[in-house]
Amino acid sequence: MEDSALLARVAAGDERAFELVYERYAPSLLAYAQTLLGERGPAEEALQDTFVAVWRNARTFEGRSTVRTWLFGICRRQALKRLRGRRPDPLPEEHALEVASDAPQPEAVVLARADAAAVAAALATLPPAQREVLELAFAAELSHAEIAQVLGVPVGTVKSRLFNARATLARALPAEVEGASR
């Protein structure tokens, strides 16, 4: 069944249609929320709030975007609401002893050689806006136009952020990893 028809059924109170929308989109929305929030717990809460909003507001969907884009927009707002309310917890003094020295630990050396670890580290260096665009483009597989709708920015901004994210990743990745991925 098409997304817009499912959403119309959700608006009419059809719980089964709601379950189908959830099954179809929850995994990618959760991954996106986790990218924004950095932790699974808050991401799950944002996902829950997203679907509460969908249940309550399905009738307000006007079809000016795809259902998928509409859902990602709701999820983004829920995640950002959580980010605004968060303050980093201060670390106890005991953790000062655990601050890494300049010398690499054996585990760090092994992980640095692994492609996945190098890519993850390179991704961590990206500004949040670039990381978010990459997540939407590659993990959620949204088009440039859909990403622009979710973020409320022009398509050109999406393209620019993607270009800059790729360039930053290329500079951050060790030559061995960069060469292996080509």
Concatenated DSSP letters of 112-168: HHSHHHHHHHHHHTS-HHHHHHHIIIIIS---HHHHHHHHTS-HHHHHHHHHHHHHH
| pLDDT at 127 exceeding the cut of 50 | yes
The residue extents of the domains of the chain are 3-85, 105-175
d(CA 181, CA 179): 6
**Mean pLDDT (the chain, rounded):** 82
Polymer length of the chain: 182
Give the residue with greater pLDDT, 179 vs 131. Answer: 131
Residue type for 1, please? Answer: M
- The rounded percent of the chain whose pLDDT value lies above 90 is 53
Are residues 11 and 59 in contact, defined by beta-carbon separation less than 8 angstroms? yes
d(CA 71, CA 51): 9
What is the tens place of the pLDDT at every residue in 39-64?
Answer: 999 999 999 999 999 999 999 999 88
CA angle 113, 39, 48 (to 5 degrees): 140
What is the tens place of the pLDDT at every residue in 82-110?
Answer: 888 655 555 555 544 454 445 455 544 44
105-175: which CATH topology?
A: Arc Repressor Mutant, subunit A (1.10.10)
Which two three-digit tokens encode residue 149?
Answer: 């709708």
**Chain position carrying tokens 């690499």:** 104
Helices (DSSP H) in 58-127: which residue ranges? 67-85, 106-113, 115-124
Residues 6+ apart with CB under 8 A from 10: 17, 18, 21, 54, 55, 58
d(CA 110, CA 166): 25
d(CA 146, CA 140): 10
The CATH number of domain 3-85 is 1.10.10.10: no
Give the residue with greater pLDDT, 119 vs 71. Answer: 71
